[in-house]
Every structure is written in structure tokens, then in C-alpha cells.
Chains A and B, each alone.
Chain A
Amino acid sequence: MVVTGWLLRRAARHPRPFLVSAADGTRARLRCEAEIARRRWRPALSPAEAGLLVVCGAPGDELSEAVRTIWDGLPSPRARADLPGDASHDLVAHALDRAVARLADGAAPGRPHGGPDPGDLPMADRGPDRDGLSLDRLHVPLGPVLPDWPSGLVVETVLQGDVIQEATVRWLEDGEPFWAEPWDRAAAGRPVTRGEAGRRRAAAHLDGLGRLLSVAGWPAAARSARTVRDRLLADAPREALTAPYERLARQVRRSGTLRWMLRGVGPAGDGDALARLEARLTATRAAIGSIADEAPLDEDRPAGNLLNPDLLVGAELATARLMVASLDPGPAVAHA
């Protein structure tokens, strides 16, 4: 018991958080990610790796169900923090502190050893693959909860091996209002500067860039992108942002491996993943350049990308994830 208690207390100092964000939880997620980076915790890639589940915002029915499944599967000792979408810094820090205290106590035991035997699960059906072999067809949903995955996106796939044979795209919610907020406020007649919108836009680009770099297996560069993003959202002045951003952009552009891996991936109207990365870097630079602009915001929010499921058919999972991350898609907006 003494040893276990000591191990629990040691372990609690190094929790592995797993974040889930609802559409309205973006602000809380960003604050939480910044706080986790400040505490030098390392986020978990999967629920099995995690000891701390953080739910940001108010999930809808389907996402709630997914969160429940994840919480049930989180191995003990575990803790959970539910943050409101507009959680302040203090609230985030306080919630994380409380979770750590619970982890150190070893409270909240998980379900003893997994779920019940499901009885007669059907075997996977089979079908010919691209080489004419008869292979298992697995029905695998990607999302709604997956690290570095757009909020609210579900891609229902049929997989053979790691190749996507069929794909349908669903969105659980209407997109993240946080990223559209300056434009929404301007549309409501309130005063918004171009600089304010530029700041939000640059942060959105860097948030997406972080996901892309992480999916591309380059966590160090993803972290740099998120650091600049967090500084943008902490209202750092332009002078404090330009140098770190340029360093990041230079590092990303110089990586021959990254170019090699993105070239020809997910060709769409605006080119391949590499062309989209270049466009995103250019747009981020312009947005950061505009954050001191005091002129009133008088333009519409640039339209986001849509995800065409046909693009994913025939792709391997790795390429499909790069396609999604490089498009950084949002749901089609009906009212616009």
C-alpha cells in the first residue's frame, strides 16, 4: 500500500491528458492545451495511454456517447475534468489541479477489466480489394474523437487492410463558432478591427498547421506551431510573433522529407497537400502582419475547405489523414 501510494503520487505529477472538444469548446481547449504545455505534461495519443480525460464545451448527443465510451475505457487510476466552453485560465488551472489531486489519491477506479463479452459478433464480410484479392471489409468510423482530427467530423469508412474502399462524411455540429467570432460580431454591427480578425485567423491557421504537422509525424514542429498560436491568442504584440513564426515557417519549408511526403497527396482544386501547406504558410504570414491594423473589419470571412469523401476512396489511412489535415475542412455552412 505504501509503495502504491508513493507510485500514485509520483505518477500524478506526470499525467497524460486526452482532450475532447465539442464545437463550442474551442476556447477552453486552446486554454487547456496552452496550460498543459506550460506544465510540461505530454498529451496522450489514445484513451489507453491517458490517465486524465478533459472534455471541453458541451458535447451533443453523439459526442457525449463517444465521450462515455472513452471514459469507460480509460484505465484506472484516472481522473476527468469537464470544462465549460468559455472556461477562464484560472478555471482551467483549477480543474487540472483538482484532477491531479484525485490521481494522486488513486480514486475513481475504472471498470474492473473491460466490458462484457459481446456474444456473437459477426465476422467481417469480405470483398475483392484493389489487387483482386478477397479481403476482410471492416467498417471503421474515423472520429468524432481522434487526436489531431477536426472537431465534429466523422468519416464512416470501409477499410480493407489500411486502404479506404468507401467513405461518407458527416458533421456532428455546425462548425466551431470560436474561429468565426470576430466576423459574427462585425455582422451583428459591433466594432471589430481588422487586426482582431487577423489575429484570430492566424491562430486558426496555426491550429490547423499543428494538426497537419502532428499527423505528419513531426511532433516537434507541431509544438512550435501551437506555441505561436498560444502567443497569438494571449494577445502578444506583432514584434513578439514575427520572429518565432518565421523560424517555424523556415523550418517547415526547408524539410525535404515533409515535401516528399505531402507532394501529390489529396489533389483538389487548389493543388495537393504541399500546395495547401504553402498557401497556409503565406496566409498565416499575412494574417500576422495585419494584427496591428486598427481599421474596421469590412470583409467577409474567407470560406473554409470542404471535405469531399471521394478524395479519400482508394487512399491508405496515412494519406487520408494527411488529406484531411491539409484541407482542415469545416462543415458546409447553410446560411452563408
Chain B
Amino acid sequence: MPELGLLALPLALVVLGLAAAGLDAVLSGGRASAPFGEIARLLVQQRRRTTRPDVLLLRVGVISLVAAPLLAAVVIPLGDAPVADLSAGIVWFNAMEVCVWGALWLTGWSVNSVFPLVGAYRFVAQGLAYELPHMFALITVALGAGSLRMSEAVQAQQGLWFVVWMPLAFLIYLVSALAMAFWGPMSQPVGSDLAGGVRAELAGPDRLLFQAGRYALLVVAAGAAVPLFLGGGAGPVLPGWLWALVKTVAVLALLVWVRHRVPAVRMDRFTQVSWLVLIPLALVQLLVVGIVVV
């Protein structure tokens, strides 16, 4: 099964990423085929060179933006078991997703241009705002499952999905999923007010990798919600992997749809809410789960 997963995982990421991009294009008034056109365009497009870029750091930045979601995805069960069922899978997922901070900062800084740099500042501020509530949401799941292993988190939900008795943690997770993929309401780091922010100067293969990494992040963020909160592959009639896929698509569609319903949130206002509202809520949720478990 893990060998099969090794093949299925990249395939699933690509297909789901393209589906998300297609849905987003349609909701943006474009055509569903737009992502394919964009890939073709970026494949033949020249790189853009700014004055005195740090090319090495730029490459490291955009490549790690693709690598981070791939590595995060190996602990997500596609049905029964993930590609790598690490004993600290939840921590691994969190660690890989934090690599995105570095990737975005390097990309924004290395092109030596103001708007990408400001976009990178914004992402660091965003990280400070979302990461703590996010970690508490993940810890709540681990506490409920009594394990940091993803497969055991799924097993612990055989009777009752975590979303039912940890709804606050689930909502906080969804908000932080948007933030980690700098998507929709949390897209200020690549905001249109900065002419595209971190990616403002990227063209050709660099932009292709950046966009691929961003959609992969979105898919992984949606995919991880399934074993963490939505019972993994549990469901009647259909096989486990298909249920996991159906649930992932549902969360992914929700995240894509939110982008078209909610304007962007600035961190100078959100950080306060995050620290004064989301963190206390996450702690209350943790406390409730802790009492139930004990």
C-alpha cells in the first residue's frame, strides 16, 4: 500500500490542485481550462530578471514552496494508511507547513524589489498571527486521539468524528488553512494592492513553481482536515480512499469558494483577534477535550 501511495500521492496533488485552480478560474469569471493555458504559457515564458537578484535564494525559495507541501502530504492517509505513518506525523505536518514561512520570505527577499519584500513581511506577520491558534488546534486533535500519529487520529474517530466534539478547533484549523496557503481572505502576502506581492516579479518557470506550490499547499491543507477532523476514510458503502478523496474535495471547494465571498484581512487588525479571541477559544477547546479524555 505505501508503494501505491507513493505513486498516488503526487498524482492526487496534481489532479486536485488543477481542479482547485479550474474552479477558482470559473468563479473568477475565467474559463475552466485557464489553468492549462497558464501552465503552457509559463512553460514557454522567459524568466524575468530584476536588478541584482539573489538567484540562489530565489531558487531555494520557490523550490521549497513545492517541496514543503509534498513532504507534508506524506503523513496524510489516502485511505487507511499514509505513505509514511510517522509516530509524530501531526508534528511533521506542522513542521513542513512552517517551512513555507522560509520559502515565502526567501522568494520575496531575493528578487530585490519592494512589493515582493513587503509581501514577505506580511507573510511573517501572518505567520505570527495564525500559527499559535493553529498549533493549539492540532494539539487538541492529538490530545483527543492520545497520539501524534495520523493513522491513530483516524482510528480514534471510528465512533465520532472530531469535528463534532471539537468544532472550534476545526474552525480555527480552517482559518489557519487559508493562512498557511495565503489564500482568499488571508492572501495579503500576494495581494493585488501590492501588484501580486511576493510573486510580483516572478515569471516563467519561477512563477509556475510558485503557483504549483501554492495550490499544493491549499490541497494539503484541505486534505489534512480529513484525517484530523472528518474521520479520515470512514463512511458507508464506498471504499476508504474514495471517502477521503470526497471529503478532501469538499473542504477544498469550500476554501476556494471562500476567496470569492470574503475580502482580504489585514494582519494589523487580525492579529489582535487571533491572539485575544482565537487563542483563548483554542485553549477552551483544548480544556474541554482534555476533561473528556481524562
> What does DSSP make chain A's interface, helix, strand, loop or mixed?
loop
Interchain CA distance A11-B27 in the complex, whole Å: 20
Check A10–B40 contact: CB distance below 8 A: yes
Q: List residues of B (30-60) whose CB comes within 8 Å of A's CBs.
A: 30-31, 33-34, 36-38, 40-41, 43-52
B196 at the interface (CB under 8 A from A): yes
Interchain CA distance A14-B38 in the complex, whole Å: 7
Interchain CA distance A77-B45 in the complex, whole Å: 6
Interface-side segment among A21-29, A109-117, A188-196: A109-117
Interface-side segment among B4-12, B90-98, B258-266, B275-283: B258-266
**In the assembled complex, which residues on chain A have CB atoms less than 8 Å from the CB atom of B31?**
14, 40
A318 at the interface (CB under 8 A from B): yes
Q: List residues of A (143-170) whose CB comes within 8 Å of B's CBs.
A: 146-148, 159, 161-162
Check B207–A49 contact: CB distance below 8 A: yes
Count residues of chain B with CB under 8 A from any CB of chain A: 54
Check B48–A75 contact: CB distance below 8 A: yes
Interface-side segment among A208-216, A289-297, A298-306: A208-216
Interchain CA distance A41-B188 in the complex, whole Å: 23
Interface-side segment among A171-179, A233-241, A254-262, A328-336: A254-262
Interchain CA distance A155-B263 in the complex, whole Å: 25
Interchain CA distance A321-B195 in the complex, whole Å: 11
- With A49-B203, A223-B29, A260-B269 as given contacts, are A217 and B264 in contact (CB-CB < 8 Å)? yes
B241 at the interface (CB under 8 A from A): no
**In the assembled complex, which residues on chain B have CB atoms less than 8 Å from the CB atom of A223?**
28-29
**In the assembled complex, which residues on chain B have CB atoms less than 8 Å from the CB atom of A255?**
262-263
Check B34–A257 contact: CB distance below 8 A: no
Q: How far is the CB of A58 from chain B (nearest CB, A)?
A: 24
Checking A41, A146, A221, A261 against B266 with a beta-carbon cut-off of 8 angstroms, the contacting residue is A261
A138 at the interface (CB under 8 A from B): yes
Q: Which single residue of chain A is at the shortest CB-CB distance from B184?
A: A217
B143 at the interface (CB under 8 A from A): no
Interface-side segment among B114-122, B155-163, B285-293: B114-122
- With A42-B30, A46-B200, A217-B263 as given contacts, are A11 and B44 in contact (CB-CB < 8 Å)? yes
In the complex, 7 of the A-B residue pairs with CB atoms within 8 angstroms, ordered by the A residue number, are A14-B38, A46-B200, A73-B48, A106-B44, A114-B49, A162-B118, A220-B261
Q: Which single residue of chain B is at the shortest CB-CB distance from A51?
A: B41
Known: A138-B114, A219-B260. 12 other contacts (CB 8 A): A14-B31, A14-B40, A14-B41, A40-B34, A42-B25, A75-B204, A218-B264, A219-B28, A219-B192, A220-B260, A223-B28, A319-B268
Check A213–B44 contact: CB distance below 8 A: no
**In the assembled complex, which residues on chain A have CB atoms less than 8 Å from the CB atom of B188?**
217, 318
Checking B33, B47, B118, B199 against A317 with a beta-carbon cut-off of 8 angstroms, the contacting residue is B118
**In the assembled complex, which residues on chain A have CB atoms less than 8 Å from the CB atom of B27?**
220
Check A257–B262 contact: CB distance below 8 A: yes
Q: Which single residue of chain A is at the shortest CB-CB distance from B43?
A: A7
